[in-house]
Amino acid sequence: MNKKVEVQDLGHNDYKSTWDYQEGLFKSVIDAKIKNRRENSNLETPNYFLFVEHPHVYTLGKSGDFSHLLLNEEQLAQKGATFYKINRGGDITYHGPGQIVGYPILDLENFFTDIHKYLRLLEEMIILTLTEYGLKAERSPGETGVWLGVGTPFARKICAMGVRASRWVTMHGFALNVNADLGYFDNIIPCGIRGKAVTSLNVELGIDKVDESELKAKLLKHFIALFDAVPQYKKGVL
């Protein structure tokens, strides 16, 4: 089993080009697995962890409801946003500046073969990171992602998740609101969940801006510990 994970920070990048890049890595890992089985070989399959921050964009998962986007094409253009129907699980979500997005592209056969455990560990990574900022973050029963104020009238989501997996290889991932413009969430029914708010780390801390480099380091620290991974750093290539 290969526990090495190549970490790339892609900085600020267009959603579609990043999606295409993800798809290429995802396919390369699957192709390597198929080749191994066809040739009865035992070559290592790679793992990746991508950090990125996107321009304003709304994405709808494969089982999502298009009516949860509350803007037409003209209104999207006015807000400088784009829209994509994509191949992850989950409903509609927003990505934009001030939001840290993570795309782990892992061969889970290098770690464990349990997609539910995978999602719970991603949530735990976020929960442990937010604990370092003095926040009590939690799971909300029946709702993937990470929340604050669970079980109260003030429940609010701070991190959305949606993944795709094939042959135990993952793609897509999580979106953590760090210094996000929360007004963009008013244009959707986030994750298809009505009546619950969305928040951002800087709002919860009552400050103008959270240090995003520091936050990514904390996320990666917890990811490495939870997955027993060995990080290898590579400059983003997009």
What SS3 state is found at 95? strand
Span 21-62, pLDDT tens digits? 999 999 999 999 999 989 988 889 999 999 999 999 998 887
pLDDT at position 127 is 98
Does the pTM exceed 0.85? yes
Instruction: Indicate if the pLDDT at residue 85 is higher than 80.
Output: yes
Q: What is the mean pLDDT of residues 129-158?
A: 94
pLDDT at position 187 is 85
Longest dimension (CA), the chain: 57
What is the domain partition of the chain in residue ranges? 4-235
Token pair listed for 117 = 């455990």
Instruction: Indicate if the pLDDT at residue 235 is higher than 90.
Output: no
Q: What is the mean pLDDT of residues 76-100?
A: 88
pLDDT at position 190 is 58
Active site residues: 191
E strand or H helix that includes residue 60: strand 57-60
- Rounded CA separation 34/104 (Å): 20
E strand or H helix that includes residue 16: helix 15-38
Asked if the 4-235 domain carries CATH number 1.10.10.10, the reply is no
pLDDT at position 28 is 97
Span 160-183, pLDDT tens digits? 998 999 999 999 999 999 999 999
Q: Tell how strand 48-53 and strand 99-105 pair up.
A: antiparallel
- Rounded CA separation 57/18 (Å): 12
Q: What is the mean pLDDT of residues 97-120?
A: 97
pLDDT at position 198 is 92
- Rounded CA separation 188/132 (Å): 30
Span 182-223, pLDDT tens digits? 998 888 775 545 556 899 999 999 999 999 999 999 999 999
Average pLDDT, the chain: 92
Q: What is the mean pLDDT of residues 124-147?
A: 95
- Rounded CA separation 44/112 (Å): 15
pLDDT at position 238 is 53
pLDDT at position 191 is 52
Half-sphere exposure of 221 (CA within 13 A, CB side): 11
